[in-house]
Structure formats: C-alpha cells, structure tokens
Structure 1
Amino acid sequence: MPIGTDDPDVHLAWILDSLGLIRRRGQGESVEDSRGALHRLMRDQFLAEPRRGWDTRTLQEASGMSSTALHHQLVKLRSAGILSVVTEERWKHHVLRNGSLPHTIELIANQARTILGQRLAAFDNRIVKSDERMVLEALQQGAEDLSFRITIAESGPMNEGDDELHHLMRDLGYCGARGRIEDDLALRTFDVLANSLRPITADVLMDETSETRTRVLGVLDRFRASHMVERVLLSDRIPHDVFVGLTHQWVSRGERWLMGRGGLSRLDDVVSTTIIDALKQNQLTTETVENVLNNVDLEARCLLVNTLGGRVPYGYRLAGADAATVKRRIEYRVERLLRRLEMITEKYADLIQ
C-alpha cells in the first residue's frame, strides 16, 4: 500500500496494479517503476475529465498512442470494469463508469463480491470434509512467499456435459495466463487435494496426475496465491529424508564431504560425532537419526536435508476442513483487498482535487 506519500501518481499506480492491469517486468520491480501507457492514459485523459466521453480518434490525438496500442489498453480497462462504452451515431465513446474513480471502484468491488460468492458455490459438493487435513500448522496464513492474485470473472458459455468446476479453474486464473480449455491439470490437482484427508506432497500429485513437477508446482503456486491452498512442513518425514541423504552421501562421498558441504559440521559436535560413528559401524537407522536430531531446531534440520541433496518435505492441502471454510478464506482475502482499494481510491480522489 502507498504509505507515507501524498504523491497521486503512486496511489494511482497502486490501484492499477491491484486490479491486475500492470504487468511487471520482474519480481524486483516496484509499483512505481511499472508506470506506463495505461497509467498515463488514465491520469491524463479519463481521470482529468472523468465525465467526458472519449472516442478513439480523440484519444489517439490526446495520448499520442497508436491505434493498436490504444485498442489494447481500452480492452484491458473495459474488461476490468473501469470504463463503459456508449454508442452515439457511429462513434463509440469510452467513459469512466459513473463519472468518478471512487464510484467506479465501488461498482467493481460490489460486482466482484457477488460474482465470487456465486461461482465458489461449485466447491460445495467437491471437497471432502477432513479435520485431520488441518492438524499441522501452516507455514503462514495463505501464501507465505507469493503475492495474492486471483481472477474474478463471470461464467462463460458451457457445452452440455462440461464440468462447471473446470470452467471455474480457468476463469479464476488457475490454468495460467495462457491456459487452454482442454488443459484440465488444475481441475485434476484440485480433485486430488479435495479428496485427500491430509496434506500431500508434490510427488504424490505428480503420480496422481501423471504430470511433470514444473507443471504441478505451477498450478500449486497459483492455488496458493489465491489462498485456496496452504503449504505445510511435514516435519515427521525429516528424519527419514536425512537418513536417506546420509547413507547415500556416505557411500558416494565419505566422511569428509559429510562434515564439510554435507552440513554436519554446522551441528553440535555430539550430534555429528554420533551420526558419523553410527555410519562407520553400519548401525545408522531412521530411529537413530530421529533421536539425535530431537534437540536440533527445525530450521537447522530443514537445512540439513537440503545440504545432503534432498528436498524439504512440504505438503499441500486445501485451506480448510470443508468447502465452506475454503470459500471463506478466499472471500476474506478478496474482501481485504477490495476494502484497501476503496480506501486508497478515496484518498487519491482527495489528493487530485
């Protein structure tokens, strides 16, 4: 959020970015760095004269944009619900909805709430209730390393026999920006998670869907970005993963590597010595590893899994024990964003007056 500044451009950039209208070049690019043609078109034309109807010829002359670039930006603004089109004689006039940005955002917010609530009803009969699913604590509420993102769109045309949930997966953006209608990986991944009574790993999802790790993780990241899915640490699997890594690296590279790049030297001397002695005597077991690592903090255990060449055992689950809870999680996060949008838009309107 634009905190600590009264620059109207910063507020407008945040509003457009929150509506998903700005495509950033990289993860490190800030909202301020992403200002471009769309930002200038909104600021210099539609917000400078909010009640004026703009035809494309006049907009081209005022903005200096090519007809192709202008058409692209107008499509984005209409799709987001910012502009409406009024046809007079043979000219189409583009106008800010209801004549002010706060009114426009209020319309968009109310429409988004209604559409999302109606469309998430498709979850009702697809999610198996399971309290066991929620026993482990999530790494963080929602997506701990991803920016919140969801597409809210009305239902489009469906053919007889089409799965409504499959269309919902596509319309909410879970199939990706260029998702094909025949690509049902998001639906299949959702069904596996919805029928699982406990968190499951990406490897299980790969087996169930017969897809590559890259594609499965892509779908999971989009699920997590909308707070529909949470990632949890399967800490009970760490001793086994450490045992597998230790025994493999002991045979392949030996004691010196384990103490160096293998990460054992980062642990207490008692821990590393106990492990090395057990390996030398061919007596290392999963139970031994579990007992030795019992007093090692969780972060250090996760790091040891990585330094031994393994993957930290993360599990994925729906963000609720039942459909109602999952829907509330998504709706809560959307409502939080919409309220921020309304607040920042009101402040922006005050700043430009």
Structure 2
Amino acid sequence: MLSMRLVEQPAPAGSRDVDQLVSWLLDTLEFVRRSGDDWTGEGVHSPIHRILCEYMLKQPGQGWDAQTLGDELGLSPTAIQYQLGKLNECGLTAAVNRDGWRVHHLRNGSLSNAVEMMANEARLVLEQRLRMLEGWMKESDLRMNIPSEKKDEGQFQIQIRGRAPLLEGQDELDAFLLDLGLLGDRVRRPADGSPPLGRLMFEHLLNAHTPLSLDEALDQWGTTRPRLTRTLDRFRAAGLVERIPRIDRLPVTLWSALHSQHDRRGSDWLMKKGGLSRIDEKVAKKIIKALDGGTFNVESCEKIFVSVEPKEQMVLLNLLGGKLPIGWRLCGAKSGQVCEKVLAKADRTFRRIKRVAETLEKAIQVD
C-alpha cells in the first residue's frame, strides 16, 4: 500500500552533483528525518542514500536482495530490509521473488519512469482521499469574505497514504487525518477517551463560517498556545488551511489601541506620532473629538473608519502599538476549491522531483 511523505524543498537549480541531487530527493520524500543540518559525518551518507547512488541508479535495470546489499554496505539484512521497505512503500521501487529472495529494483527500469509512476499513483490516492471532504465540509461563501494573503505560502508538507481497514473505535475522519499526517507523528489521545485535539479543531474548521483565532481556540479547548499553533500549522502546511489577518476584528482592536494611547499620552501625541496624521484629516478630527468627548466606542469606531482602507487601518494599528489577531480557515468556500489548492501544491512538488530525476540520470551517464 502506498505510503509516502512530501516536503517541498527549493529546487537545486544548476546542480549536477549526484550526491546533492540524491540528498534533495531523499529530503523531499522525507526518507532521512533530521532535526539539524549536521546529520552526517564528512562524506558519510545514510544507507538509503548509498543504496540509490551506488547500486540502483548506476545499474537501474538490475535488482538486489537484502543479503547482498547488507554484505556490501556492512549492515544487517534486517536494517537493509527496513530501508528497502521505505522505497517500496513510496512507489520508487518494487520487488519480485527470485530463488527464495525478494529482489528489489527501480520500477520500469529507470529513475524517471519510477518517479513518474510514483507521482501518478500518489496524486490519485491524494485526490481520492480529499474527496471525503465533500461529505464533511459545510459550504460557506462567508468563510472567504476576508481576502487571502498572497504571501502566506509556507513550506508544503503532507503525508499520502492509501486507506486501510478501520481500527476498532476509528471512523473515516480519524483515518483521513492519520493518512494525511494531520495529527502529527505522536497522536495524543486524552485519558477519558475523547477525540484528540487535532480532530476537534479540524471539525470546527469544517463547519466554521469565520476564521479561528488563537484566543477563540484557547477559550474553546483550554490548552497551550504553542500546541494550538502546531496543530493549525500542520493543517496549513498540508495546504488545507490558510492564515489570514482578522480584518473583521479591526474595529475592536483599533478602538482598544486608540483608547489606551489617548488615556496615556493624549490627543496631541495621537495626531503627531500616533499615526492619525497618516489618514484623512476629517476622519482624524472625528476620532479626537469622540475620544475627548467620551463617546468613542466600538460602534462609533467602525462608522468613523468605514471610509479608510483596511491596509491603512492596519498601518495605523501598528503605529499605535496594537496587534491584529491572526485567524485560520479552510482555503476555500467549497470542498472542491480546497482539493484543487492541495493538489496544485502536490503537483508542483512532483514536477520538481521529475526534473531532478531527469537531471540525475544525465549526471550519472556523464560520470
């Protein structure tokens, strides 16, 4: 059954070094998971790196069993079998039985063919898994009222795994979240048997009409901010969720910042250093008049700023020392729109893998 991870990496532009290209490929498929850059000694590569470089890529039409590779690399057949199993699961290699041994080889006799087959199969599995959103996600045009931020492009990271039979006590949504890696590597299930935090938050986003902020999440689930942020960022990395400024809360945030600075520093400071001089003079005078008269509230703030662009309001808020809350929401009003965005990011990563595979084959032929 297909099981792989995709982690988007910057394309190795111009590089024709075989070791660098293979390392990029392994990093993109997250075969070698590491926490820092100094993960190997000088010139020492992981076993899976050596299997590809020294055997499968140099002789793509041949096959090897775990015993032979273990003798060559100085590792036990069990350790080699584990590495070969990861290559088989992602779809780069396959295995056939020969004289009682499992012989492993690149699919269809070349890296470019193997990558093409892997990409097609993985995309199909991902598309089929994402179709499940149609039955769970509530359509809402109101959800997309706030424009998306074009710069909110984090590193794409997703797990793609075919559906397996459900475990006891598991439903389709649990399997979906696990197959796409949305619950993390270590799923923390509460002692009382209630659903994990990731599921609760994802269910909320499926039915929400407005973005979810950290403050709202804290009130609802009562855990720590870092844990909530990690959960939401996993959804965002997979392309299902996007992060946006809570422009709908601008009036409240501006009112609080203006009121606070007026009480501390007065009207003159607001007009000169507080940023009111950057907006229309009539609007600024209305604000000062309301503040001095004690009639400045959230409703009047919203009415006064109705003619000011949201970007200008955010600049003013920044000058006042305020901070606009960030919200998370599903990246589409309908399930089809969410699926398209996730698949587009996966396709972009697969295109890079195909280009690197072709470059690798040319570099090996030259050597």
Q: TM-score range by the shorter chain?
A: 0.7 to 0.9
Amino acid paired to 1:300:
V
Measured at CA, do residues 211 and 126 of structure 1 come closer, stay the same or move farther in structure 2, by a change above 3 Å?
Answer: farther
Give the distance between the partners of 2:344 and 2:15, measured in 1 at CA: 27
Alignment partner, residue 233 of structure 1: 245
Alignment partner, residue 126 of structure 1: 136
Alignment partner, residue 116 of structure 1: 126
2:23 alignment partner, one of 2, 5, 13: 13
Alignment partner, residue 7 of structure 2: none
Amino acid paired to 1:303:
N
Please say if residues 275 and 316 of structure 2, whose CA atoms lie closer than 8 Å, have aligned partners that are also in contact. no
Please say if residues 166 and 184 of structure 1, whose CA atoms lie closer than 8 Å, have aligned partners that are also in contact. no
Alignment partner, residue 39 of structure 1: 49
Instruction: String of CA shifts for 1:149-192, please: whole Å, max 9, x gaps.
Output: 11110112214663201111011010012225775322221211
Structure 2 unaligned residues grouped into runs of 5+: 1-10
Alignment partner, residue 174 of structure 1: 182
Amino acid paired to 1:36:
H
SS at match of 1:125: helix
Q: Shift of residue 268 of structure 1?
A: 6.0
SS at match of 1:317: strand
SS at match of 1:337: helix
Alignment partner, residue 75 of structure 1: 85
CA RMSD of aligned residues (A): 3.7
Amino acid paired to 2:104:
H
Give the distance between the partners of 2:231 and 2:77, measured in 1 at CA: 36
Q: Shift of residue 19 of structure 1?
A: 1.7
Instruction: String of CA shifts for 1:132-153, please: whole Å, max 9, x gaps.
Output: 1112111127xx2520011110
Please say if residues 238 and 301 of structure 1, whose CA atoms lie closer than 8 Å, have aligned partners that are also in contact. no
Q: Does 1:50 align with 2:50?
A: no
Amino acid paired to 2:200:
R
SS at match of 1:42: helix
Give the distance between the partners of 1:122 and 1:289, measured in 2 at CA: 40
Alignment partner, residue 98 of structure 1: 108
Alignment partner, residue 163 of structure 2: 155
Report matched runs for 1:266-285 at 5 Å.
267=275, 285=297
Please say if residues 146 and 247 of structure 2, whose CA atoms lie closer than 8 Å, have aligned partners that are also in contact. no
Instruction: String of CA shifts for 1:102-136, please: whole Å, max 9, x gaps.
Output: 11111211111221122122111111111111121
Q: Does 1:146 align with 2:154?
A: yes
Measured at CA, do residues 70 and 159 of structure 1 come closer, stay the same or move farther in structure 2, by a change above 3 Å?
Answer: closer
Alignment partner, residue 315 of structure 2: 300
Give the distance between the partners of 2:13 and 2:274, measured in 1 at CA: 41
SS at match of 1:20: coil
1:107 alignment partner, one of 110, 117, 125: 117
1:338 alignment partner, one of 350, 354, 367: 350
Measured at CA, do residues 220 and 120 of structure 1 come closer, stay the same or move farther in structure 2, by a change above 3 Å?
Answer: same
Q: Does 1:201 align with 2:213?
A: yes
Please say if residues 192 and 205 of structure 1, whose CA atoms lie closer than 8 Å, have aligned partners that are also in contact. no
Amino acid paired to 2:358:
E
**Greater displacement, 333-342 / 206-215:** 206-215
Aligned length, in residue pairs:
339
Instruction: String of CA shifts for 1:256-301, please: whole Å, max 9, x gaps.
Output: 9xx8xx9x94736688x98899878766544459858947735534
Measured at CA, do residues 303 and 70 of structure 1 come closer, stay the same or move farther in structure 2, by a change above 3 Å?
Answer: farther
1:187 alignment partner, one of 199, 211, 224: 199
Alignment partner, residue 60 of structure 1: 70
Report matched runs for 1:254-265 at 5 Å.
254-255=264-265, 265=273
Please say if residues 124 and 323 of structure 1, whose CA atoms lie closer than 8 Å, have aligned partners that are also in contact. yes
Amino acid paired to 1:132:
L
Amino acid paired to 1:157:
P
Give the distance between the partners of 2:169 and 2:85, measured in 1 at CA: 31
Amino acid paired to 1:330:
V
Q: Does 1:222 align with 2:237?
A: no
Give the distance between the partners of 1:246 and 1:69, measured in 2 at CA: 64
Q: Shift of residue 316 of structure 1?
A: 1.6
Q: Does 1:328 align with 2:337?
A: no
Amino acid paired to 1:151:
Q
Measured at CA, do residues 236 and 340 of structure 1 come closer, stay the same or move farther in structure 2, by a change above 3 Å?
Answer: same
Instruction: String of CA shifts for 1:76-115, please: whole Å, max 9, x gaps.
Output: 3233222323333443333222221111111211111221
Identical-pair percentage = 32
Please say if residues 247 and 279 of structure 1, whose CA atoms lie closer than 8 Å, have aligned partners that are also in contact. yes
SS at match of 2:116: helix
Measured at CA, do residues 298 and 85 of structure 1 come closer, stay the same or move farther in structure 2, by a change above 3 Å?
Answer: farther
Please say if residues 123 and 165 of structure 1, whose CA atoms lie closer than 8 Å, have aligned partners that are also in contact. no
